[in-house]
């Protein structure tokens, strides 16, 4: 499944990093958790917005880190208890992705960028997205993989437009495949 989902080349300003990190933690992670039928996406929705001040002083992300750790612990307990829909299909090369590859690339980049600033917040959110996306792709979630894929792509395009408006130096790249 190939897409022409835009990738955005963003200058590494605190504002752009904050906007993308906020999207990852408060929008994408709860969205994919909901599609997977995994517990407590509301906890992430309720977190305060991430601002440039959070990026400049990563200690301000402690509340976000704590919430993500709690959500991941609940997800792990939920998955170990086997509380998901059966029959689940095994993940194969042909499995439909639940999140576009371009979006996963951005979440990985954010995880590294924010980790370099001494906060594991984006890495924990990335782990949450990958775990929930695996549940959806295996057919064990509440939503079909295509529904999750298209909603995730729409969410990403929305944040790309916000970044593009707020950061005049940002460049929009579209894979010509």
Summarize pLDDT for 54-99 with one digit per residue, the tens.
998 989 999 999 999 999 999 999 888 875 555 555 555 456 789 9
17: nearest Cα among 175, 170, 177: 170
Q: Is pLDDT of 171 > 80?
A: no
Residue 107's pLDDT band (cuts 50, 70, 90): very high
Q: Are 84 and 141 in contact (CB under 8 A)?
A: yes
Torsional class of 41: left (φ above 0), alpha (ψ -120 to 50), beta (otherwise): alpha
- Tokens at 52, concatenated: 């440039």
Q: Is pLDDT of 177 > 50?
A: no
């Amino acid at each position: 499944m190939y897409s022409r989902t835009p990738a955005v080349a963003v200058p590494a300003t605190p504002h752009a990093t904050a906007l993308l990190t906020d999207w990852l933690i408060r929008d994408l992670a709860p969205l994919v958790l909901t599609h997977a039928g995994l517990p407590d996406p509301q906890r992430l929705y309720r977190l305060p917005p991430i601002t440039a001040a959070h990026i400049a002083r990563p200690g301000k992300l402690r509340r976000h880190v704590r919430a993500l750790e709690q959500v991941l612990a609940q997800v792990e307990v939920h998955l170990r208890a086997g509380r998901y829909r059966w029959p689940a299909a095994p993940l194969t090369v042909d499995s439909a992705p639940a999140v576009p590859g371009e979006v996963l690339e951005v979440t990985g980049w954010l995880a590294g960028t924010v980790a370099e600033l001494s906060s594991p917040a984006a890495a924990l959110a990335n782990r949450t997205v990958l775990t929930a996306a695996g549940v959806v792709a295996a057919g064990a979630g509440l939503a079909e993989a295509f529904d999750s894929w298209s909603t995730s792509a729409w969410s990403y395009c929305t944040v790309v437009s916000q970044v593009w408006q707020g950061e005049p130096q940002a460049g929009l790249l579209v894979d010509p495949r």
